[in-house]
Amino acid sequence: MSSSVERAAELLGHAAERDVALGPFTTYRVGGPASLLLRAASEPDLALARKVVVETGVRVLVVGKGSNLLVADSGFAGLAVILGDGFSAIEIRPDGLVVAGAATSLPVLARRTAAAGLTGFEWAVGVPGTVGGAVRMNAGGHGSDMAASLVSWTSVDLAGGPDGRAPAATLELRYRHSSVRPTQVVTSAELQLASGDRAESETQISEIVRWRREHQPGGQNAGSIFTNPPDASAGQLIDRAGLRGHRRGSAHVSPKHANFFQADEGGSADDVRSLILEVQQEVEARTGVRLEPELRMVGFEPIGGEPSTRGRG
């Protein structure tokens, strides 16, 4: 264990958990352990994490619901931070302004806002993530995304940078992208939704759930692996390359949707990663299009357009 990790463990004291498997915190359910884990129940816990990171330089990984995360079998040699229920409050105001904690489940928020007679967030019922993760990657689906309703966001920078509330314009939101840094913990988001009809919104939600069940697989996956290139579908390109159902060790391309990669129960994160790399190379060789991963991969060398995970975060 590195000196920075040991020092971080000393400063965190009883708040730190050692060598905790991260797979159970992800929808892939595979992957190795974090050297240290902190479950942040409140703002003071994040303040402690910030103090530790600044003083020790320990690498830090912010884990949401893990629906867009794959951790290498070797694990993460640093401090993983997970937000607790203290960050899952929802406030719905009469003017349609909604303030949601970063740990709030997107499907829960979609149903709560629809029940309140608000429209504009129905799409999120099919995204198995949290508000914080959705801000970070500008999550979306069914013709909308976070950028359509996000007004502002609040954060804590564990590396010692500026904290607090900022307008959505500071995020440089575009397709599956924001400027949120790896060390920034999104703590809440403010959304502006429109008045709607509860029955219509709940019908729309039911249709989205039905469509996803019919067209997308369940099981151990993280949703879409690659972003769609301009004027094309990543899933269709993978299918045309003859890779639907293709297997690599304990991972395979879903026969139901070619942009979903499944992990076997008790499987290997490294097999998932190898499958991603193989599919990326094969599709480029056969179609000339280089697919870029939207999945966040930690503990591996970067590929394609994926951000490096070797530095902090």
Q: Which are the catalytic amino acids? A: 176, 224, 294
Distance between CA atoms of 118 and 39, rounded to whole angstroms? 32
Q: Which run of H or E residues covers position 71?
A: strand 69-71
| Surface-to-core class of residue 136, CB atoms within 10 Å of its CB (0-12 exposed, 13-18 middle, 19+ buried) | buried
Report in angstroms the alpha-carbon separations of 257 from 214, 215, 238, 239, 246.
10, 7, 10, 9, 12
Largest CA distance in the chain: 57
Q: Is 284 helix (H, G, I), strand (E, B) or coil?
A: helix
Torsion angle in degrees (nearest 10) through CA of 183, 234, 126, 79? -20
Nearest Cα to 238, choosing from 270, 274, 284, 271? 284
